[in-house]
Amino acid sequence: MIPQAELSYDTPGNYSAACASVQAMLDAITDSGASSSCLSYNNSGLSDVYIRWGASGIKGTSTPIQAWSSSPVGAATWDVQGVNSSGVFVSSDTYMNWDTANTACGIAGGRLPTMEELKTLTDATYIASGNATRTPPGFVADYYWSSTAVPSNSTWAYSVDMTSGNIGDGYKATDSYVRCVR
């Protein structure tokens, strides 16, 4: 499980912070009228190193998967080891097999998220919601394909249940929900 760092979640779009620089950014976001869908986590302990993230969030700058946000239309963003991976919007009701999903994401210049990225989203949402839900905003409460293939069987890949956070494996020819990232 990933510990929450310096941010505490009160209600959707309402965050408070433990350090002055993060609180100042949150105040500026709130004062501008924007709501924040950002979850910020830090695997290595608390840090005062955060930067503004777009118009509606903040992110850390020193850990692998540091932040995630979802726009009202379902676009997602991760920051993985300092590489900003902006989401490619795929309708939240898009349901396709694994090969089609990989092709569709590739055409859009993106990729399927890894199993670890999807699992991080459900864990982060669970912590931030006070253990009320694992389904991130903009996601359907169901299984999503990951890019992670099952090593022992080339016709299967892993998916993550955005309701429970459970990792499952499935036959690549079956349909699951899709979210592309890049």
pLDDT at 138: 66
Cα 136 to Cα 156: distance, rounded to the nearest angstrom? 25
Q: In this predicted model, what pLDDT tens digit does every residue of 86-129 receive, in sequence order?
A: 544 454 557 889 998 888 777 756 678 888 878 877 776 677 66
**Do 67 and 38 meet the contact criterion of CB atoms below 8 Å apart?**
yes
Domain ranges of the chain: 7-181
Residue 39 burial (CB < 10 Å; 0-12/13-18/19+)? buried
Quick one: pLDDT at residue 160? 92
Distance between CA atoms of 124 and 133, rounded to whole angstroms? 10
- Residues 135-168: tens digit of each pLDDT: 776 678 899 999 999 999 999 999 999 888 899 9
Q: Is 116 helix (H, G, I), strand (E, B) or coil?
A: helix
94 phi, psi to nearest 5 deg = -75, 130
- Fold of the CATH domain 7-181: Mannose-Binding Protein A; Chain A (3.10.100)
Instruction: Measure the CA–CA gap between 171 and 31, rounded to whole angstroms.
Output: 48
Digit-coded pLDDT (tens) for 30-54: 565 544 333 333 332 222 223 333 3
